[in-house]
């Protein structure tokens, strides 16, 4: 097997060949079909966020593939590997919060991940991909379910969104575009905010009700525009569901500024930058501010069903590259040269 390893911060990934590891009881050996490039990977590689496993380490946690070793009942099945693999036994898991299990294992963070030809993972929470889905999409494309789709799915559910609510999605890139679609599926009137006209056009073309390019606009101007759109859509002027997907300081500041009465602000995007906000706004608006971490494996079949039933589209938002181009893809992703989610596909054994 081979892996593209991160050995130092901001250095090119290096190719390493290794023998297949021993498969322990309860583990599965997966031949990787595809692995998506996530903002979290960039955070590890470029922004100095520390991985739990010491370097060198193979990154990548958005993985799909075929089981070629391990439990008999999983052999030859096509699967998605949840980005968060909980223990299933601790207090958090028992409370239905398995996504934040303190014993969790994350590919590309706790152990070698998906920018490789193969990976060994716990088999307990693998998500089977039915043939119905594979008739619509390649297994390579479906890897984005492991994070880019499942993470916004979980947070939309956590937000307690209701039919007819106004949902505001800030940042409609690789994760936000799915978040916007999912909010629409849940029956919300959806407004997409971004600084990129091309991304906003894609959102509009896929059923999003309204878009605003917020480049150069201050918070007050944006809030007024959103209020106007809410009136046009006959959406409530209160109880807004705000989803910060951009993972930027500016996006988080904008999201907080949009709070109104009984709003829920969900923070999905990650940044190392700190923001200064007046927390008393939460009190004054009787609003909620919530976070999210990945997606609990129990929700993955619901996400797969959305894809299987053509409620959620994937292929228009995914672009595949040979895994051997990993250094080029990471550099271009850092420079915002792609409008679609990059998926790296192993290109030699």
pLDDT digits (tens, 9 = 90+) for 113-138: 999 999 999 999 999 999 999 999 99
What is the value of pTM for the model shown? 0.93
pLDDT value, residue 349: 62
- Convert the pLDDT of each residue in 178-223 to its tens digit: 999 999 999 999 999 999 999 999 999 999 999 999 999 999 999 9
Domains and CATH numbers, the chain: 2-147+295-345 (3.90.180.10), 150-291 (3.40.50.720)
**Quick one: average pLDDT of 297-320?**
94
d(CA 268, CA 272) in angstroms, rounded, equals 13
What is the β-pairing status of strands 127-128 and 78-81? antiparallel
Q: What integer is the mean pLDDT of 272-300?
A: 95
What per-residue confidence (pLDDT) applies to 339?
Answer: 83
Apex 170 CA angle, 166 and 171, nearest 5? 135
What is the chain's alpha carbon radius of gyration, rounded to the nearest angstrom? 20
Whether 21 shows a pLDDT value over 90: the answer reads no
Omega within 30 of 0 (cis) for the link into 7: no
Q: What is the pLDDT of residue 259?
A: 98
Tokens of 248: 């930027």
Q: Report the share of the chain in percent with pLDDT over 90.
A: 93
Between CA 96 and CA 127, with CA 163 as vertex, the angle to 5 degrees is 40
Helices 219-232 & 249-257 angle (0-180, nearest 10): 60
**Phi, psi (deg, nearest 5) at residue 48:** 85, 10
pLDDT grade, residue 272 (50/70/90)? confident
Is the Cβ–Cβ distance between 119 and 107 less than 8 Å?
yes
Q: Helix H segments across 83-196?
A: 91-94, 131-134, 150-158, 176-185
Residue 340 pLDDT grade (very low, low, confident, very high; cuts 50, 70, 90): confident
End-to-end CA distance of the chain: 7
What percent of the chain has pLDDT above 70?
100
pLDDT interval class at 316 (50, 70, 90):
confident
């Amino acid at each position: 097997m081979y892996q593209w390893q991160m050995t130092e911060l901001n250095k090119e990934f290096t190719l390493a060949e290794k023998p297949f590891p021993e498969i322990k009881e309860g583990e599965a050996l997966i031949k990787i079909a595809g692995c998506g490039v996530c903002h979290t990977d960039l955070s590890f590689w470029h922004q100095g966020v520390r991985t739990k496993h010491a370097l060198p380490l193979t990154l990548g946690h958005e993985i799909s593939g075929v089981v070629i070793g391990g439990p008999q009942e999983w052999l030859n099945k096509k699967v998605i590997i949840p980005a968060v693999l909980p223990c299933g036994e601790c207090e958090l898991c028992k409370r239905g919060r398995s996504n934040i299990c303190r014993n969790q294992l994350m590919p590309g963070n706790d152990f070698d991940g998906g920018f490789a030809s193969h990976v060994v993972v716990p088999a307990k929470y693998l998500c089977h991909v039915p043939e119905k889905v594979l008739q619509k999409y390649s297994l390579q494309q479906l890897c984005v379910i492991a994070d880019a789709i499942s993470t916004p799915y979980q947070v939309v559910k956590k937000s307690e969104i209701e039919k007819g609510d106004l949902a505001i999605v800030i940042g409609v890139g690789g994760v936000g575009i799915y978040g916007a679609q999912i909010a629409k599926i849940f029956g919300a009137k959806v407004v997409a905010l971004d600084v990129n006209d091309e991304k906003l056009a894609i959102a509009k073309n896929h059923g999003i009700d309204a878009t605003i390019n917020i480049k150069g606009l201050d918070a007050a101007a944006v809030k007024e525009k959103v209020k106007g759109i809410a009136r046009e859509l006959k959406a409530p002027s209160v109880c807004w569901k705000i989803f910060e997907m951009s993972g930027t300081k500016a996006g988080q500041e904008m999201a907080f500024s949009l709070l109104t009465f009984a709003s829920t602000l969900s923070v999905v995007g990650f940044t190392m930058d700190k923001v200064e906000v007046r927390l008393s706004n939460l009190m004054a608006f009787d609003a909620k501010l919530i976070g999210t971490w990945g997606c609990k494996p129990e929700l993955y079949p619901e996400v797969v069903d959305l894809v299987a039933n053509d409620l959620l589209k994937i292929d228009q938002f995914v672009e595949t590259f040979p895994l051997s181009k990993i250094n080029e893809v990471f550099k271009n992703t850092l420079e915002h040269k792609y409008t679609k989610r990059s998926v790296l596909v192993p290109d030699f054994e």
